[in-house]
Chains A and B, each alone.
Chain A
Amino acid sequence: MNTTVLASVTFIYLASFLVFLMAEVSGKGTWARSGRMIVITGFIFQTAGIALRWFESHQAGIGHAPLSNFFESLVFFSWAVALLYLLYAWKDAKGLIGVFAMPVASLLMAYASFSPTIDTRIQPLIPALKSNWLIIHVVTCFLGYAAFFMASSFGIVFLMVKGSQENRGSIGDMLEKSLKTGFILFTFGIVTGSVWAHYAWGRYWGWDPKETWALITWLIYAAAIHVRIRDGSVSRRVAFMTVFGLASVLFTYFGVNYLPGLHSYQ
């Protein structure tokens, strides 16, 4: 049941993307407003789907927060992207950001729901995953990833917008805000992950490929923050670095699963 609800979200987010595209092409505010309403509808469905999955896991007698396998993490990642889109783009909802964020939220759901290699069943937790630290770790990491994703979307827009410094200014502000939000959340994610590792494996850091790539991502964004401090404001260099950071986020999340390690969900 939960997987059906969640699969439908793929199409709702896809629809919002198309509407945001129309908004860009036509330049009409009504399109952008309808797009946002569609995102909200999808977000409500998605939240309900996650809650339902949680409930169903309890019914099956193996109750746990739906944050423990690859499918569940993809769904949560998509949820976090939609949430941050709504939070950031609410006031000056530039459709352009929706054009970046919503296809990604939709693709993540499509991959989760329709890829034949992904097991959508609710599985019981192996002993190492039975930890409240793990829940905080996953939530903060993925919210952090989503914020970094927003920062990089703003970064791409920043690099694309020719116009005046004025135009770029507000994009730069949003970039900086999401960069900082992402850095706080992701740092929190790394710290709680270390606490979990301390309890589960008896060491807080083990240079596992996933851990190392999380550190790489963190270092890139720390460097971006210092470039921002050196340049005095968000510059093209900062925008470039957020895009590199996104590549690192994606590798941390998807790429590392192909290397052996404790974190590979398969």
Chain B
Amino acid sequence: MGTRLLWHMRLLKGLSSLRLTIGLLLWLVFMCILGTVIPQLPVQATADVSMATHVAGLLSLKDVFHSLWFLVPTIILGLNAAACMYLWRRTLERYRAEPPLPRAGLHEITMRTADIPEKVCSDFKVILAGTHKTVQYEDGGDPVIMGENGRVRVYAPFIVHAGIILILLGAGLGFLGYKGTIEIPVGQESNTVTLANGSIMHLPFRIKCEDFKIDYYENGMPSEYRSELTFVQDNDLSMHTSVLVNHPASHGGILFSQSGFNQNPVAALKVGTPSGTSRFRAAEGLIIRLKDTGYNVRVDKVAEDLMRMGPCVHLVIETPDAPKELWIFKEFNSIAAAHPGLVEKMPQLNPSLVTPYTFSLEGVTNSYATVLGINRDPGIVFVGLGSMLFLIGIIISFMVVHERVLITATEAPSGLVVKIARMKNGKPAAPEKYILEQEDSSLEVRS
């Protein structure tokens, strides 16, 4: 039993060593540097989840910050701080309400006075009370006056390291969440999230993008991106909200932020056929099946402005002989007028190349899709709380001085001996002059 206890204490002592702290901090510095000089590849979701690949991934330096080289020392650092805090309770013992007078670092004054120790002590108490919180008690029969300031400093290490532990805990909980993006074309709904590792996930609710707008400065730089969203739960329009850069929205514990956008140009195509005219609205990739012949027309590219010649669409038409390419410009008539013989030289510009059709482009408009960042992070509250504690802790620790002045008086053959001890943050310090100068200078002061 006894040895087991000893073993526990030894482990605790080892874990709480400051040397370990310094070593771990410097190790983490080293790993962080590696993380910025070795190109980092986020892990990709693969079908292969064998133990070996998993372990190799955890040891790989291609994702340093999720590797064991980084995570294990971080966990040990947390345990280090926890062990430190646990043992620190005993340090607190030194700061209990009625401490004995320290043995070393005392200032002694011998006074020739007829007053009894209690009287001298209560005189000092009045003086100290002007600047300190004072208590009076007895130590080994002698009266003791203690003045104290900045007691909160005593708890600073506890607050600081509790903050660190909370931050680490919160960061750990973050692993239980997920991050990704969702792309929603204006006017449409989606719940399909592409996670950071490339895999797909479905949210328990749908998001509709009502609108997406970009504002610009006079010089053409974008000044604002704004998505108007509705969260749709069980076909109930549950909540409308706007999401802007720097103004994310939260729904169902998930943070939605404006991460980017995609622009899909849409062509307004007109096709003259023997049986009349048809109109299509076509985005890139759309395949149109033409009546009469059954040819497939693939919309390969839609451009708002191609080579400064205005809106243009690139079509690939599957005819029985061979696929035919067509570049249809909105301004075809004026382009052809400016370059006589153009169609002969470049038949792919001829709108009537594929008989019996005549293609024309009425215009190109832009349809936007907003790209939202998705972040579900169950640890964020702990991280926030921990950061606040840590900040408060270091401010107290660095700006507040815990000061104690202990004064006692005893009768001795030479007269009345007054002993003064002053400590700042637990270290002996010289008493302030005004305390010593309360008595006349003929006094004998020994330190």
Contacts and interface: CB of A to CB of B under 8 A. Distances in A.
Interface of A: 61-62, 123-128, 130-131, 180-181, 183-184, 187-188, 191, 194, 196, 198-205, 207, 209, 212-213, 215-216, 219-220, 222-223, 226-227, 229-230, 256, 259
Contacts of A123: 221
B22 A226 contact: yes
Contacts of A219: 25-26, 28-29, 32
B32 A212 contact: yes
Interface in B10-59: 18-19, 21-22, 25-26, 28-29, 32-33, 35-36, 40
Contact of B398 (A183, A202, A216): A183
Nearest to A129: B246
Contacts of B394: 180, 183-184, 187
Contacts of A229: 18
27 contacts: A62-B217, A126-B221, A127-B245, A127-B246, A127-B258, A131-B246, A184-B391, A184-B398, A187-B390, A191-B387, A196-B246, A198-B380, A201-B373, A202-B248, A202-B256, A203-B375, A204-B380, A204-B383, A207-B65, A212-B36, A213-B36, A219-B25, A219-B32, A220-B26, A223-B21, A223-B25, A226-B22
B261 to A, nearest CB: 11
B222 A215 contact: no
Please report whether the interface of chain A is mostly helix, strand, loop or mixed according to DSSP: helix
B36 A209 contact: yes
Contacts of B380: 198, 204
B65 to A, nearest CB: 5
A163 B29 CA distance: 34
Contacts of A201: 257, 259, 373
Contacts of B248: 198-199, 202
B221 A124 contact: yes
B235 interface: no
Contacts of A226: 18, 21-22, 25
A223 B26 contact: yes
Interface in B295-330: none
User: Which 8 A-B pairs have CB atoms at the shortest separation, nearest pair first?
Assistant: A202-B257, A202-B373, A127-B245, A180-B398, A223-B25, A124-B217, A191-B387, A131-B246
Nearest to A200: B246
B438 interface: no
B107 interface: no
Contact of A222 (B25, B218, B247): B25
B179 A223 contact: no
B225 interface: yes
A188 to B, nearest CB: 6
A210 to B, nearest CB: 9
A239 B191 CA distance: 55
Nearest to B21: A226
B217 to A, nearest CB: 5
Contacts of A194: 387
Nearest to B25: A223
B19 A230 contact: yes
A58 B18 CA distance: 52
A123 B220 CA distance: 12
Contacts, number: 109
B219 interface: yes
A223 B29 contact: yes
A200 B245 contact: yes
Nearest to A199: B246
A211 to B, nearest CB: 10
Contacts of B218: 61
B245 to A, nearest CB: 4
Given A203-B377, A212-B32, A223-B25, 6 more contacts: A61-B218, A127-B224, A191-B387, A212-B36, A223-B22, A229-B18
A215 B395 CA distance: 19
Contacts of B146: none
Contacts of B22: 223, 226-227, 230
Contacts of A205: 171
Nearest to A261: B36
Interface in B203-249: 217-219, 221-225, 244-248
A125 to B, nearest CB: 8
A240 to B, nearest CB: 12
Contact of A130 (B25, B246, B390, B398): B246
A200 B260 CA distance: 11
B255 interface: yes
A125 B223 CA distance: 7
Contacts of B245: 127-128, 130, 200
Contacts of B18: 226, 229-230
B82 to A, nearest CB: 16
Contacts of A213: 32, 36
B246 A216 contact: no
Interface string B163-188: 00000000100000001000000000
Contacts of B26: 219-220, 223
Nearest to B386: A191
A124 B223 contact: yes
Given A194-B387, A230-B22, A202 B375 contact: yes
Contacts of B33: 216
A201 B181 CA distance: 11
Nearest to B244: A127
A156 to B, nearest CB: 21
B35 to A, nearest CB: 6
A223 B255 CA distance: 34
Contacts of B373: 201-203
B185 to A, nearest CB: 20
Contacts of A223: 21-22, 25-26, 29
Given A128-B246, A207-B40, A226-B25, A187 B32 contact: no
A189 B225 CA distance: 26
A202 B259 contact: yes
Contacts of B40: 207
A26 B281 CA distance: 84
A222 B398 CA distance: 13
A207 B224 CA distance: 26
Most buried by A among B245, B383, B399: B245
